[in-house]
Amino acid sequence: MSSRTAAWIVALILIGTPALGAELFYMDHDPLSKEYVGPTGPLVLSGEIDPGDYDRLLSKISEDESRFIEQNKLLLASDGGDVTEAIKIAHLVKALYTEVVVGPLTGRCVGVCFLIYAAADQRVTDGPRLIGIHRPEFDDADWDLLSPPDQWLLEEDLLAQTRALLQDNGVPVYLVDEMFRHTANDVYWLSERDERALGAMSPPFEQLLTAKCAWSDTLEQAVYKGERPMEDLKEMWACRTRVTQPAAHEALALALKEKSAPDTDAKTKPGAHCRKKGTAIPHSDDCPDKPNGTNAPQSKNRPAASQP
């Protein structure tokens, strides 16, 4: 057996083996073409997203920062998990300008995994029934640790963060509505039309490339039609690298600094389980004043909140 084949078998085993939290490893095959790319392939996040996976992802990236940021790509294959952890990873992906890919080779992206996919400045998928969305759910054990008031506060805060993240990244309103309309037993699978509506780039990233690198959709289409030389497109992507790589290094340094900073009062304030909006690190402030219960994420053993 060749070393190439052995590495591929190991990758498949890692994808299919149950584990505590998501698996993190570097892929040696392209997830779309299935071609061997060698030991410099992109990072894979595979499996259920559990508490602690954000820290583990940070650690994995920081082990070889240059290796990750030089290609700045994350392959996603997850059937869901912890919504709070997914939101934190989503903010990190956005801050690093990381491209997210979901392909048939590694597996589908369902539930809270979509938050990470949507937050990416570039998102790529290829194939049917690979992106599935439904209303966020809570882990029963975590839910039972909270008092009823904190349960409502957590629901409202996570709901607000989820909606804000989707809206900030240009997710069409109708897809946001579909997400909160469906349960884990009734997943809404994005069609080709939905993926086109979502777009391959987030609006803020498209604006950045337009301003800094003279990017336009017309230019890219002209290159692929053979109407303009490939060098024009290569220069645009080289410009993208010059613009985003320094910012990605700075964002990673900030995330590592936040991770190491002690959160001394997180357990002493009311609503300690709430999350500060727009950050990847949990805090105890910025919770809503009062709950209204509308469209709230549901516990796996709780009935869905009534819809307006």
Query: Residue 118: which of 105, 128, 127, 109 has the closest Cα?
Result: 109
* Residue 272 pLDDT greater than 90, yes or no: no
What phi, psi does 199 have (nearest 5°)?
Answer: 90, 155
For residues 85-101, give the mean pLDDT: 95
Residue 286: CB partners within 8 Å, gap ≥ 6? 157, 274, 275, 276, 277
Would you state the structure tokens that stand for residue 163, as one six-digit string? 């909606």
Pairing verdict, β 188-189 and 131-133? antiparallel
Burial class (CB in 10 A: 0-12, 13-18, 19+), 56: middle
Query: Residue 105: which of 192, 46, 166 has the closest Cα?
Result: 46
Q: Are 90 and 163 in contact (CB under 8 A)?
A: no
| Mean confidence (pLDDT) of the chain | 79
* Residue 197 pLDDT greater than 80, yes or no: yes
- 29 vs 216: which has the higher pLDDT: 216
Q: Which segment of 59-73, 127-141, 264-278 scores lowest on mean pLDDT? A: 264-278
What are the residue boundaries of the structural domains of the chain, listed by start?
A: 3-299
What phi, psi does 280 have (nearest 5°)?
Answer: -95, -15
120-177 pLDDT tens trace: 999 999 888 999 999 988 665 667 777 888 888 888 888 888 999 999 898 999 999 9
Bridge partners for 137 per DSSP: 298
- In this structure, is the dihedral angle defined by the CA atoms of residues 124, 129, 135 and 140, taken in order, positive or negative? negative
What are the DSSP calls for 33-84, one per residue? T--B--TTPPEEEES-B-TTHHHHHHHHHHHTHHHHHHH-EEEEEB--B-HH
**What pLDDT does 50 receive?**
92
Which pTM does this prediction carry?
Answer: 0.76
**What pLDDT does 277 receive?**
42
Cα–Cα dist 237/215, whole Å: 9
Cα–Cα dist 157/162, whole Å: 9
For residues 95-114, give the mean pLDDT: 93
247 alpha-carbon distance from chain centroid: 18
Q: How confident is the model at residue 21 (pLDDT cuts 50, 70, 90)?
A: confident
201-244 pLDDT tens trace: 988 898 999 999 888 878 778 888 888 888 888 888 899 999 99
The CB-side HSE value for 141 (13 A sphere, CA atoms) comes to: 3
Residue 242: CB partners within 8 Å, gap ≥ 6? none
**What pLDDT does 304 receive?**
40
